[in-house]
Homo-oligomer: A and B are copies of this chain.
Amino acid sequence: MAVVAMAEAAPAVARCGGRPGCETCEVRILAACRAVGAENLARLAAAATCRRAEAGRALFEEGEPAEAVYTLTEGMLKLYKLLSDGRRQVVGFLLPGDFLGLAFGRGYAYTAEAVTPVVACRFARTRFMGLLEEFPALEKEVLTRTSTDLAAAQDQMLLLGRKTARERLASFLLRLAARERRAAAAAGCGAAAAGAGVADVVGLPMGRADIADHLGLTIETVSRTLTSLRKEGLIELPAVHEVVVRNPAGLARAAGR
């Protein structure tokens, strides 16, 4: 198949398969599929393979035969579609715990590319389908997630079709902040859990071009709009890849609706 690439080089944990060596995968699969129950976790893990990819590498590409599904365990992925002349639409950014690759069409509907170095659990498509049969709870979970993704996509349609640049950026930042908060809460049990005061610092690992292609804007407009939000005191930009939400209420107002 394909699964392109992966430069690899990765240290430790190159593959798993239920072996205790791959704690990351075990934990993440648990988080993603806890519906299955801990007692069946081993079966799930046994069906998976760890894949690593450095930033900029594609896990798979649009149009390629969809021979596997993935659960992202570490890092951030961007999913995008291309027009023949190079125009691009980033349909989503994925964080650990997210599923991807479920395609019922002829091939993958989008390219999945690493924004940061990533680790993902790979399930051969046919095998995954078998797991769905075996664990109805897993199928339910997948349906729930797909449904949630659909709702998010519809929100994005509203953003792309009807919001101004300012509203788009504000919405985007708020959504990102919310996801990060949720992720932090979810990780709180097992991970570092740096304490309460994580504040409202939002990481922006993706570049301006990715943001622009996600929001249907140009990089210049993204840059200008961020600057404008900063000058109004709604946000701070301590670093290029970091945003602090200084005035959540104001930002929410700027996001429209």
Q: Does A143 contact B (CB under 8 A)?
A: yes
Q: Does A162 contact B (CB under 8 A)?
A: yes
Q: Is the CB of A213 within 8 A of B147?
A: no
The answer, yes or no, to whether A88 is at the interface (CB within 8 Å) is yes
Complex CA gap A216/B163 in Å reads 9
Comparing A27-35, A151-159, A236-244, the segment that makes contact with chain B is A151-159
**Least distance between A45 CB and chain B CB atoms (Å):** 23
> Of B150, B160, B214, B257, which contacts A150 at CB under 8 A?
B150
Q: Is the Cβ of B150 less than 8 Å from the Cβ of A146?
A: yes
Per-residue CB proximity of A129-164 to B under 8 Å, as 1/0?
000010010011011101111110111111011110
| A109 CA to B257 CA, complexed, in Å | 14
Give chain B residues whose Cβ lies under 8 Å from the Cβ of A215.
161
Query: In the docked arrangement, what's the CA distance between A157 and B83, Å?
Result: 12
Report the separation of the CA atoms of residues A140 and B148 in the bound assembly, to the nearest whole angstrom.
Answer: 17
Query: In the complex, which residues 70-103 of chain A have their Cβ closer than 8 Å to any Cβ of chain B?
Result: 81, 83-85, 87-89, 91, 102-103
Question: In the assembled complex, which residues on chain B have CB atoms less than 8 Å from the CB atom of A102?
Answer: 147
Let me know if B83 and A162 touch, CB within 8 A. yes
Copies in the complex: 2
Closest to A139 in B: B139
| Among B88, B109, B110, B154, contact of A81 (Cβ-Cβ < 8 Å) | B154
Q: How far is the CB of A251 from chain B (nearest CB, A)?
A: 16
Beyond A91-B154, A149-B150, A157-B156, whether A162 also contacts B216 by CB under 8 A is yes
The answer to whether A83 and B161 touch (CB under 8 A), given A153-B153, A154-B109, is: no
Closest chain B residue to A79, Cβ basis: B154
Q: List 18 A-B contacts (CB under 8 A).
A: A81-B154, A81-B155, A83-B158, A84-B257, A89-B161, A103-B151, A104-B151, A105-B148, A109-B151, A110-B154, A136-B139, A139-B139, A146-B150, A153-B157, A156-B157, A160-B161, A160-B216, A161-B216
The 9 closest A-B pairs by CB, nearest first: A161-B216, A153-B153, A160-B160, A89-B158, A87-B162, A89-B161, A91-B154, A83-B257, A150-B150
